[in-house]
Amino acid sequence: MPSRSNGLAAEMEAVRTLALVGACASGKTSIAEALLHEAGAIGARGSVERGTTVSDHDPLEKRMQHSLNATLMHLAHDGTRIHLIDTPGGADFLGQSLPALEAVETAAIVVNASAGIEPMTLRMMDYAASRHLARLIVVNRIDDPGADLASLLAQIQAAFGRECLPLNLPAAGGTRVIDCFYNREGESDIGAVDAAHRALVEQVVEVDAAFVERYLNDGDVDASELHAPLEQALREGHLIPVCFISARSGAGAAELLDIIVKLLPDPSEANPPDFLLGEGADAKPMQARPDASLHVLAHVFKVTSDPYVGKLGIMRVHQGTLASDSQLYIGDGRKPFKVGHLFMLQGKDHVEVPRAVPGDIVAVAKVEEIQFDAVLHDAAEDSHVHLAPLEFPVPVHGLAVEPKRHGDEQRAWEILGKLAAEDPCLRIEHVAATNETVLYGLGELHLRMVLDRLREVYRFEVQTRPPRIAYRETVTAPAEGHHRHKKQTGGAGQFGEVFLRIEPLARGDGFEFADEVRGGAIPGQFIPAVEKGVREVLACGAIAGYPVVDVRVVVHDGKHHSVDSKDIAFATAGRKAFMAAIREARPVVLEPIVQIEIVAPEHAVGDVTSDLSSRRGLVTGTSTIGAGAAAVRGQVPMAELASYQSRLNAMTSGQGRYTIALSHYEAVPPNVQQVLMAQYRGREEDQ
């Protein structure tokens, strides 16, 4: 009789995890429905248009007819448990899509057969490759009358390399598909099956010298013998399989399920995730082992909060066996919690399960301490284990928000905090200089959906307005600063004198503070007060009211009084000495420059590039992306993008869209700096 550990190992090997990623309207949600239906997990395929899919169950998703969240589903096929994650295709929702890649062995990049390769197709291919995932390209809508599948396959191979080879081929006008890995016979809509079979086998055997020799000697190798080299080819990116499906008709759905079960990696066959042990520069690489008998390591890649259900932590088990009675620690927390109930998710439904093995994706409810990106474990040696962090786009679209009702500020902060905890690309910042609470997201749609969720889910109304641009201040030359603070009020006085020098740092280096005082000119207990005064200027600015960055401050001399010297005196002296030095150090105001990618009809490219140049932008490239559309890439100051979507709509008849990501900061033109400084002086005079 097999042992329990052997039974768990077999259970783990019968697990597959797959994230459906790609552009909007490529059909990811419909593919999930087709697979669930084909496997018998649902009785009938739902419809995005009717709002009846398992995945898009959120009221906002039903209204928008687009996925806005990463949704978990599972099904069983041929004795194998398959976890599916349906992800949003909009660039505004990468905070939902990217974490899903942390939970799976395979990224299935879905391509709309009519639209072809789109910007999000390229981005998700790159993201998946950077996380060392197996990649599968799924071409959907193969029965569209206008689809040119042969040209699309050639386009895919031109964009991503000759390693993109079909595992099956469309036939009979896209009404069925023909396997070309195990099968060699037949004629498809885009070529002979035998030729596709040979190309696949030749690509796979290249990773194993013994198979190369057999192939050269015998002229072929039976595909049933190629499991190990196939998995190696997938791990190394030496093979990126392409398969075809029509989610609408179901053609290719059964074949895709067979591919997932027979050819895609199980947890023991994939590249291990990049875990780190320790913090900061001292962190060392560590591999989790997909072994059900070891201690538990699970990564929380998604958190949801609901005013009625509470917090839900969704995790991928990487090591060990997680049971419903497990005691787990959260990161370096010292207080364990007991897993009361363990769930697998089917859209909005929670299916309770007794345990989870490596590869499984499960959830626990109502554990308030769980946070996004936390590692859960049951062993003390794992208290400082974490995953190598994902690189998320920097949220730069901002809205200043305030509650409609006076006195609701604390509740607003709490609710926004919950929403930000669910989305790593949503940031809340209180700007002290303007006393604004600013919500930053990846785009206008991203922020609009957050506001809709505030209103419809939390029943909370806010007012919004454009925020002030996130300018910064810095210096471009060394300078000296000095201030003596002396105050006598009849009782105890105040005295502190500070001499300091400043020098610019490289862009992005932040702030450095150094104490080079000798001989006790400023006693050591007052140095923190000097730094406090300096940091007050860092926060509020010196010439235009914006944070000061990329500067080094060295305190090198001063004077004190044995009775009258106090922290407040040295904080004041430090603040005013720093401001005096800044004014002598050729200060400049920096503005955020963003990378922009604009997708527009080809006929509008000239207007788009001309308009971008008029906004102090720099066009860095244009490319055709298929279906009569083109992408324009460039850099532009963030300040020039106010109401840009409206202008883009006018130039493209509503067909244009754009995404931005923070690139760098650079000095504003002198005339702009003069305006900003004058506005700051005006605000100071009004106070």
* Residue 580 located in a structural domain: yes
* Residue 233 located in a structural domain: no
**What percentage of the chain carries pLDDT values higher than 90?**
67
* Residue 340 located in a structural domain: yes
Domain count, the chain: 5
Query: Is the separation of the CB atoms in 200 and 234 below 8 Å?
Result: no
User: Do 356 and 247 sit in the same domain of this protein?
Assistant: no
Above 60 in pLDDT, residue 581? yes
- C-alpha to C-alpha distance for 316 and 648, rounded to whole angstroms: 41
Q: What is the pLDDT of residue 357?
A: 95
Question: How do residues 633-652 score in pLDDT, each as one tens digit?
Answer: 999 998 898 778 778 888 98
- C-alpha to C-alpha distance for 427 and 439, rounded to whole angstroms: 6
Q: How high does pLDDT run on average in the chain?
A: 91
Q: What is the pLDDT of residue 40?
A: 96
User: Do 321 and 281 sit in the same domain of this protein?
Assistant: yes
- C-alpha to C-alpha distance for 227 and 320, rounded to whole angstroms: 26
DSSP string, 100-127: HGGG-SEEEEEEETTT-S-HHHHHHHHH
φ, ψ dihedrals at 125, nearest 5°: -60, -45
- C-alpha to C-alpha distance for 31 and 492, rounded to whole angstroms: 77
* Residue 356 located in a structural domain: yes
Least Cα distance to 544 among 683, 676, 671 occurs for 676
User: Do 255 and 293 sit in the same domain of this protein?
Assistant: no
Q: In the structure encoding, which two tokens stand for residue 338, read together?
A: 């007991």
Query: Is the separation of the CB atoms in 417 and 335 below 8 Å?
Result: no
User: Is residue 497 classed as helix, strand or coil in its secondary structure?
Assistant: strand
Query: Tell me, what CATH number does 55's domain have?
Result: 3.40.50.300
- C-alpha to C-alpha distance for 242 and 168, rounded to whole angstroms: 7
* Residue 652 located in a structural domain: yes
Q: Strand (E) positions, 412-493?
A: 427-431, 436-441, 462-465, 472-475, 479-487
- C-alpha to C-alpha distance for 286 and 299, rounded to whole angstroms: 14
Residues 6+ apart with CB under 8 A from 283: 276, 277
Query: Tell me, what CATH number does 543's domain have?
Result: 3.30.230.10
Least Cα distance to 269 among 134, 167, 165, 163 occurs for 134
Q: What is the pLDDT of residue 685?
A: 67
* Residue 3 located in a structural domain: no
Above 80 in pLDDT, residue 627? no
pLDDT grade for 6, boundaries at 50, 70 and 90: low
Query: Residue 657 burial (CB < 10 Å; 0-12/13-18/19+)?
Result: buried
User: Do 41 and 138 sit in the same domain of this protein?
Assistant: yes
- C-alpha to C-alpha distance for 508 and 463, rounded to whole angstroms: 33
Q: Which of 468, 484, 510 is the last residue of a domain?
A: 468
Distances (CA, A) of 333 to 275, 282, 384: 18, 20, 10
pLDDT mean over 129-152: 95
pLDDT grade for 654, boundaries at 50, 70 and 90: confident
User: Do 255 and 183 sit in the same domain of this protein?
Assistant: yes
DSSP at 669: P
Above 90 in pLDDT, residue 381? no
- C-alpha to C-alpha distance for 200 and 230, rounded to whole angstroms: 10
User: Is residue 446 classed as helix, strand or coil in its secondary structure?
Assistant: helix
DSSP string, 317-356: EEES-EETT-EEEETT-SS-EE----EEEETTEEEE-SEE
**177-181, 374-378, 433-437, 623-627: which has the highest mean pLDDT?**
177-181
User: Do 611 and 625 sit in the same domain of this protein?
Assistant: yes
User: Do 641 and 611 sit in the same domain of this protein?
Assistant: yes
- Domain containing residue 573: 473-585
* Residue 203 located in a structural domain: no
Helices (H), 488-587: 527-540, 567-584
User: Do 448 and 539 sit in the same domain of this protein?
Assistant: no
pLDDT grade for 515, boundaries at 50, 70 and 90: very high
Above 50 in pLDDT, residue 405? yes
Query: Tell me, what CATH number does 368's domain have?
Result: 2.40.30.10
Above 60 in pLDDT, residue 433? no
Q: What is the pLDDT of residue 622?
A: 92
Above 60 in pLDDT, residue 610? yes
* DSSP-assigned beta bridge partners for residue 385: 277
Above 50 in pLDDT, residue 265? yes
Least Cα distance to 479 among 410, 542, 567, 396 occurs for 542
Query: Tell me, what CATH number does 620's domain have?
Result: 3.30.70.240
Least Cα distance to 170 among 150, 199, 155, 154 occurs for 150
User: Is residue 579 classed as helix, strand or coil in its secondary structure?
Assistant: helix
Residues 6+ apart with CB under 8 A from 323: 339, 342, 354, 355
Q: Which of 551, 585, 619 is the last residue of a domain?
A: 585
**What percentage of the chain carries pLDDT values higher than 70?**
97
Q: State the residue for tokens 């004629």.
A: 187
φ, ψ dihedrals at 629, nearest 5°: -115, 155
User: Is residue 625 classed as helix, strand or coil in its secondary structure?
Assistant: strand
Q: What strands lie across the sheet with 427-431, from one edge to the other? A: 427-431, 436-441, 397-403, 462-465
Half-sphere exposure of 340 (CA within 13 A, CB side): 5
Q: What is the pLDDT of residue 276?
A: 86
Least Cα distance to 578 among 609, 634, 538, 638 occurs for 538
Above 80 in pLDDT, residue 290? yes
Least Cα distance to 214 among 165, 163, 223 occurs for 223
Query: Is the separation of the CB atoms in 377 and 383 below 8 Å?
Result: yes
What is the amino acid identity at position 445?
L
User: Do 28 and 156 sit in the same domain of this protein?
Assistant: yes
65 Ramachandran zone, left/alpha/beta (phi>0; psi -120 to 50) = left
User: Do 252 and 288 sit in the same domain of this protein?
Assistant: no
Distances (CA, A) of 229 to 246, 407, 473, 568: 29, 64, 56, 70
- C-alpha to C-alpha distance for 520 and 316, rounded to whole angstroms: 57
Above 50 in pLDDT, residue 308? yes
Q: What is the pLDDT of residue 179?
A: 96
Residues 6+ apart with CB under 8 A from 136: 18, 106, 107, 108, 109, 240, 241, 242, 243, 259, 264
Q: State the residue for tokens 């060699």.
A: 184
User: Do 257 and 279 sit in the same domain of this protein?
Assistant: no
Least Cα distance to 595 among 325, 393, 388 occurs for 393
User: Do 485 and 439 sit in the same domain of this protein?
Assistant: no
φ, ψ dihedrals at 271, nearest 5°: -65, 130
pLDDT mean over 114-139: 92
Question: How do residues 390-399 score in pLDDT, each as one tens digit?
Answer: 888 878 788 8
* Residue 422 located in a structural domain: yes
What is the amino acid identity at position 278?
G
Question: How do residues 28-52 score in pLDDT, each as one tens digit?
Answer: 999 999 999 999 999 999 999 999 9
Q: Which of 419, 449, 468 is the last residue of a domain?
A: 468
Q: What is the pLDDT of residue 2?
A: 35
Q: What is the pLDDT of residue 1?
A: 29
- C-alpha to C-alpha distance for 178 and 170, rounded to whole angstroms: 6
- C-alpha to C-alpha distance for 96 and 58, rounded to whole angstroms: 14
User: Is residue 283 classed as helix, strand or coil in its secondary structure?
Assistant: coil
599 Ramachandran zone, left/alpha/beta (phi>0; psi -120 to 50) = beta
Above 50 in pLDDT, residue 76? yes
